[in-house]
Amino acid sequence: MDNGQYERRAATAASDSLPHILLIDDVPEDIRATLVLLKTQPWRLSLASDAHQGYQRALSLRPDLIVLDVHMPQMDGFSLCRLLREAPATRHTPILFLSSANTPLERLEGLAVGAVDYIPKSYAPEEVLARIKIHLQLTWRAPPAIQDGPVDPQPQGDEIVLRAAMRLIENQLDDIPSLPWLAQKVGTHEKRLTAIFREHLGLTVFAYIRDARLRRGQELLGESAMSVQDVAELVGFRNACNFATALRQRIGMTPSQFRRQTLGIEDAELAGRT
């Protein structure tokens, strides 16, 4: 190896040992002062100008921290964050929202979908820098010089969309909105989401929702003393009768029969619970 090749490899290794920050914002002019300040730090910076580009760069570059806007065309930051939290390459990457979307509900949604911090765009750039430093101190470690063993294969894009949709459904069983809303929340449209569920699960989205509600209902019946009516409401059925009918069609037992079989309790005690 000549001196030039050695120096280039050494420079690459030194660069790889620095924290890598990915900023995703469709209007980079809005964060120009922050970019100028971040460039004074011994970090590597990468930029993406929309959510789809940011998603691809996050998966390929595997940054140590992601700074993400909310209001972007086609797919917003909340939807992108859901996908990043399902992808193995970025599942544990700290995500900081930096956005003009600053209502209490928006801040809460950002934290609920997996961000570690939420900074309004009325910020001072020095505050953004300070928060990034804190999260890097908590999570960043320089990578080893040599990576041993095979790299885990990345799931396909449709699989990540599927995982994000399934998690969203599981978290909102009591009140799942429309199919277009669900698709939008995971960065796609309803026809594609329907096709993904059919291809990977052999079910429509609504069939999966019904199955998820009944599975969760069975869990609640077996692990709690809640009434059948309360269980039915928690998993999105209008009343105990509808839930009982659906459960009997699924497993051939009423809620009371299932609970008796699962918990092994006497009929008289069961009657008092349900």
Residue 262 domain flag: yes
The domain that holds 129 is classified in CATH as 3.40.50.2300
Residue 149 lies in a domain: no
4 lies in some domain? no
Tally of CB atoms within 10 A around 56:
12
Q: What is the pTM of this model?
A: 0.76
| pLDDT tens figures, 131-161 | 999 999 887 664 444 444 455 555 568 999 9
Domain identity same for 206 and 257: yes
Does residue 133 share a domain with residue 186? no
Which residue, of 139, 165, 198, is where some domain finishes? Answer: 139
pLDDT of residue 12: 45
pLDDT-derived band at 268 (thresholds 50, 70, 90) equals very low
Residue 219 forms part of a structural domain: yes
**Per the structure, how many domains does the chain have?**
2
Segment 51-84, tens digit of pLDDT? 999 999 999 999 999 999 999 998 999 999 999 9
Mark whether 165 and 114 lie in a shared domain.
no
Domain that holds residue 59: 11-139
Note whether 168 and 269 are same-domain residues: yes
3-state secondary structure 194-262: HHHHHHHHCCCHHHHHHHHHHHHHHHHHHHCCCCHHHHHHHCCCCCHHHHHHHHHHHHCCCHHHHHHHH
